[in-house]
Structure 1
Amino acid sequence: MSQYESARAAFADWGVETETAIERLKDIAISVHCWQGDDVVGFEAKSGASGGGIQATGNYPGRARTPDELRADLDFAFSRIPGRHRLNLHAMYMDTDESPDRDAIEYRHFTPWVDWARDSGLGLDFNPTFFAHAKADDNLTLAHPDAGIRDFWIEHGRRTREIAARMGAELGSPCVNNIWVPDGMKDHPIDRMAARQRLQSSLDAILADPQDRANMLDAVESKLFGIGVEAFTVGSHEFYLGYATRRGTLLCLDMGHFHPTENIADKLSSVALSVDEILLHVSRPMRWDSDHVILQSDDILAMAQELVACDLLGRTHIGLDFFDATISRTAAWVIGTRNMQKALLRALLLPMDTLKGAENALDFSRRFMLTEELKDLPYGAVWAEFCARMEVPVGQALIADLDRYQDSVAGRG
């Protein structure tokens, strides 16, 4: 008997069909973020602007310096990630010989990405870039007191929605366009309301023109604090929860954007009662929004289990948001994405009806015993079978592949 057949029998003893879990996992697309590959640098002509609270640390060899290099790295990464997925692209990653400012970008500046995605069988998601620009150096964009600066960023936001809608139409898959702004203040403000009213009005202006949801989905993303905005973030969780509820947008929950003691998995069932769809940015914060590559940690496993237990997979768009320049960037993509998939598989392999039955009967002793014994089941054998069917390596073969590719790009300056 093979390891998988043995594992299949072990799960069957608990009333779990591994084939069903494998088939469900095949259909879950994860939006892999482009900015891990080049340390959030982008491909614009730079003008000495600050990072707007975004910082990658480390100088590991092999950073992608051009769109072609980034796409080559992504090709390799996707070839080692089982299943069919998506790419999350930021507006500063345009591929063009022109140098348009953010308020002048057009779809044609991104057509090489769309052509590549179509050829690769990938979906695309998109993000306006409200940081790393001279007009964001005050850490205020859509909430800036200067109407001219607000208008500049409003136009940028409008154009990204148009670009995202065209991307979705061209690829036949809705493009999630996620709005995150770094707006806030380093020290305590006097008038929080005024800043939030400006942000709300700016968002309303960006979203004024309707787009077909078959092509584009709007999302808004909160944050607790960041570099330079330690005392006050205009777009707080409460602000965006209310806004998404009123305007019918997706609500983005980024695992690094909350207090370290908050359980992000716990928020899913709450916000799902108020918004139709959720966007996740999965990362691993350490003490602050440091965006480490995700592990098979308790937080990630809890997130996946909540998605399955609450039947939210059909209403949730799973994206990743980490960047680490101290390790191989392609290895970070591959291992991080696969860890998200492993967490989902473990959740799909739980006997949810049995667990919920014990809980509904208030038999917490039985719930406790079940959850602990289930941790010993051979999840790894099911994962290996899934990867074999998807024709991607595991274990030492995967590590050897990752090492070989890193060696091939290590000479990049």
Structure 2
Amino acid sequence: MTIKERYEAAREAYQGVGVNTDKALEALKKIPVSMHCWQGDDVMGFDGDGTLSGGIQTTGNYPGRARNPGELMRDMDKALSLIPGKHRINLHASYAIFEEGEWADRDQLEPRHFEKWVEFARERGIGIDFNPTLFSHPKAENATLSSEKEEIRSFWIRHVQACIRISEYFAKEQGTPCTMNIWIPDGFKDIPADRTSPRARLKDSLDRILSMDYDKSKVLVAVESKVFGIGMESCTVGSHEFYMNYASKNDILCLLDSGHYHPTEVISDKISSMLLFFDKVALHVTRPVRWDSDHVVLFDDETREIGKEIIRGGADRVLLALDFFDASINRLCAWIVGMRNMQKALLNALLLPGETLAELQKERNFTEQMMLQEELKLYPFGDVWNYFCEINGVPPKEDWFKEIRSYEKEVLLNRR
């Protein structure tokens, strides 16, 4: 049977439970996932000396890491060509592109330092999201926006404000809002004597940042919490409770990262609550293994649950991005597997008879609800996914890996 014939059979099967697969595929095509640039070069960026700090680590030394903007863009291009649909790219400020002999510190970054990224995105018809980079910098060794030293705090305040201006530039150039997410590595290795003062300083810094004039319809500012990190195991200044309250009070976004909570917590359970109180919520989907280790996103239980909550809550209300970095495997393969798995999770949710299942729950008919949920797991989901790939001009199944194997041999292994 051809992929189309298998799809026709799958469509008939899903019709039996009241699901229109054609509508599901059309809806999936309209949901962009923001692909993070830092998977391609192990979070090195272009503005520093190639060392990481702030509790960030990459492990492995698989050959072929992108070493400059041209290589990174070429790799991103290849990855995007093997992912169905139209997506976005997610940049950190450390990926500024300078002219030869030029350099600007992070508080002096300007839109012109990102013109080549705008050209890249415009030519491909994709949007850009952005992140200030408050790590891997001499002035981030102890603390950033919560620093006891005013000169350090002021530097990072200027940096984030510069990033807001750059985000506004992206939005104006592309005609689509730019999500700009703030994460800081501030915290304490051992039990602090005073948690309040650092958080008061962080609040003051954010207040000063947001006092600037910018178009809030074009720049969607988000704040991202973390439960702990390397070197800040006992306390993070930017905790979930701090940022959720700050975002609510100041009408900005609260970003949930699926690796930034206690191992027994899952963000799939948080999305519905957040959407009751916020117009939108931002997500970074990753895969923690015992801690916030940023493994490649799999088509696992939690990713599927996240997909369900996005669809149930309204995909237009969830700003979806990925965030992982694995240097132990082919970096393009990591991108492609993660992005395609996130899309599979969304498609899985779109192929569920949501109203029927919700009605069974409302009736407290948990027996039939459980039975139907389990039987649906063996429905021909894969045939629908493969058809989605085919109609979007992307290799289905594992066929795309042949191109990555060739690209590795011809391009990546020649990088020394």
TM bracket (short chain)? over 0.9
1:155-202 alpha-carbon deviations (Å, 9 max, x no partner):
001000000001110011101110000110111111111000000000
Measured in 2, the distance between the counterparts of 1:397 and 1:179 equals 38
In 1, the alpha carbon distance for the partners of 2:140 and 2:249 equals 27
SS of 1:99's equivalent in the other structure is coil
Contact 1:283 1:320 in 2 (8 A): yes
> For 1:410, what is the secondary structure of its paired residue?
helix
Amino acid at match of 2:128: L
User: Shift in Å at residue 213 of structure 1?
Assistant: 3.1
Match of 2:117 among 113, 123, 132: 113
Give 1:2-151 correspondences, 5 Å limit: 2-46=5-49, 50-97=52-99, 98-138=102-142, 140-151=143-154
Measure how far apart 1:271 and its partner are: 1.4
User: Offset of 1:211 from its aligned partner?
Assistant: 2.0
- Farther off after superposition, 50-59 or 317-326: 50-59
Decide whether the 8 Å contact of 1:103 with 1:159 is kept in 2.
Answer: yes
Task: Note if 1:298 corresponds to 2:301.
Answer: yes
Tell me the equivalent position of 2:413: 410
Q: Is the 8 A contact 1:220 1:244 kept in 2?
A: yes
Q: Alpha-carbon deviations, 1:279-307, whole Å to 9, x = none?
A: 10000000111000010000100111112
Matched residues in 1 for 2:231 and 2:48: separation?
A: 24
Q: What is the alpha-carbon distance in structure 2 between the residues aligned to residue 396 and residue 286 of structure 1?
A: 25
> Distance between the aligned counterparts of 2:56 and 2:408, measured in 1?
25
Q: Which ranges in structure 1 are unaligned for 5 or more consecutive residues?
A: none
Distance 1:26 1:214 in 2: 24
Aligned partner of 2:286: which letter?
S
Partner of 2:187: 184
1:153 aligns with 2:151: no
Aligned equivalent of 1:219: 222
Kept after mapping to 2: 8 A contact 1:49/1:137: no
Moved more, 75-84 or 388-397: 388-397
The CA deviation string for residues 303-328 of structure 1, in whole angstroms up to 9 with x for no partner, is 1111222x331110000000000000
> In the TM superposition, what is the alpha-carbon distance from 1:49 to its structure 2 partner?
6.2
Give the structure 1 partner of residue 342 of structure 2: 340
Q: How far, CA to CA, are the matches of 2:180 and 2:37 in structure 1? A: 14
CA distance in 2, matches of 1:213, 1:157: 15
- Paired AA for residue 140 in structure 2: A
1:209-248, Cα deviation, whole Å (9 max, x unpaired): 2322332110110000000000110000000000010011
Contact 1:264 1:303 in 2 (8 A): yes
8 A Cα contact 1:45 1:99, kept in partner: no
Secondary structure of 1:263's partner?
A: coil
How many residues were matched structurally? Answer: 410
Structure 2 CA distance for aligned equivalents of residues 396 and 297 of structure 1: 18
- What is the rounded CA distance, in whole Å, between the counterparts of 2:196 and 2:136 in structure 1? 26
Q: What's the CA shift for 1:128?
A: 0.2
- What stretches of structure 2 of length at least 5 have no aligned partner? none
State the match for 1:320 in structure 2. Answer: 322
Q: C-alpha distance in 2, partners of 1:117/1:323?
A: 22
- Report % sequence identity: 51
For residues 196 and 216 of structure 2, the distance between their equivalents in structure 1, rounded to whole angstroms, comes to 31
Mapped partners of 1:396, 1:295: distance in 2: 15
Matched, 1:195 2:234: no
Per-residue displacement from partner, 1:341-400 (whole Å, max 9, x unpaired)? 000000000000110010000111111111101111000000011111100002242111
- Could you tell me the TM-score, scaled by structure 1's length? 0.98
Contact 1:49 1:134 (8 Å CA) reproduced = no
Instruction: Detail structure 1 runs of 4+ shifted over 6 Å in the superposition.
Output: none
> Aligned match of 1:374 in 358, 373, 376?
376
SS in 2 for 1:285: strand
2:359 to 354, 357, 360: 357
Q: 1:7·1:381 contact (CA, 8 Å) conserved in 2? A: yes
Q: Secondary structure at the match of 1:273?
A: helix
The answer as to whether partners of 2:69 and 2:97 remain within 8 angstroms in 1 is yes
Instruction: Answer yes or no: is the 8 Å Cα contact 2:111–2:169 preserved in 1.
Output: yes
Q: How far, CA to CA, are the matches of 2:404 and 2:396 in structure 1?
A: 11
SS of residue in 2 equivalent to 1:272: helix
Report what 2:290 is aligned to. Answer: 287
Alignment partners' CA distance in 1, 2:137 and 2:201: 20
The alpha carbon displacement at 1:5 in A equals 0.4
